Structure 1
Amino acid sequence: MVRQILEAAGFVENETYKKTRFLKVPSEDFAVYFDDEDVRGSDFENLIKSHSIRIEVYSYGADCFLEAKLEAELNWRGIPWSKSDRVWLRDDQYYMTAYYFDYQEKMR
């Protein structure tokens, strides 16, 4: 689901978004996401997977159009979310805003 949200917001896999990290940082605004999973179920089968997602959006300017698009995608899907304040990463020379949300999926 995270990939669909990011792509609908205008990010491109392996170019402007990636899971965990980029080895070479893109020259344009980009995102990195993290997916913590928790699997549970009954005594015999684990059929529920809970995801805790963190998406970090990095922008070279203070006004990030992609942040607004990401928020619109989360709202359109009805996903409750929270975000951190935008922080300036002085050593890296860009801003970072983190988004947090959870969702569950039923495994087969």
Structure 2
Amino acid sequence: MKNTYLIPANSKRSMLIFGLFAPIDLIIFSVGAGLTVILMLSFQASTINDVFMVLTPLLISTALVLPVPNHRNVWTLASNVYHFLSNRRTYFWRGWCMINGEENKNRTK
């Protein structure tokens, strides 16, 4: 093989950190962890509800960056679902079973 090579099937994963995370994922997780540390230093958690409230930023950010099959993570899946539901969709069909109007006019003449 002269200067030719095959591209591996997982070449997209090589662009991710640890093969799983994009830089924005690590930023989201870091912000959640940082807020949790600040809340831990600021509040003295004496009940289970207080502990849960202090850990909430870390739990949410961790849930957002968890890997999901067929998507990079929950954040990507949620943004894809949001864009699918909120954006206007127009489907153009030009398949074998549709005759374009212009072609139809030419056939009748």
Structure 2 length-normalised TM: 0.24
Q: Which has the larger radius of gyration?
A: 2
Instruction: Decide which structure has greater strand share.
Output: 1
| Structure of greater relative contact order (alpha carbons < 8 Å, 6+ residues apart) | 1
Instruction: Decide which structure has greater helix share.
Output: 2
Structure 1 length-normalised TM: 0.24
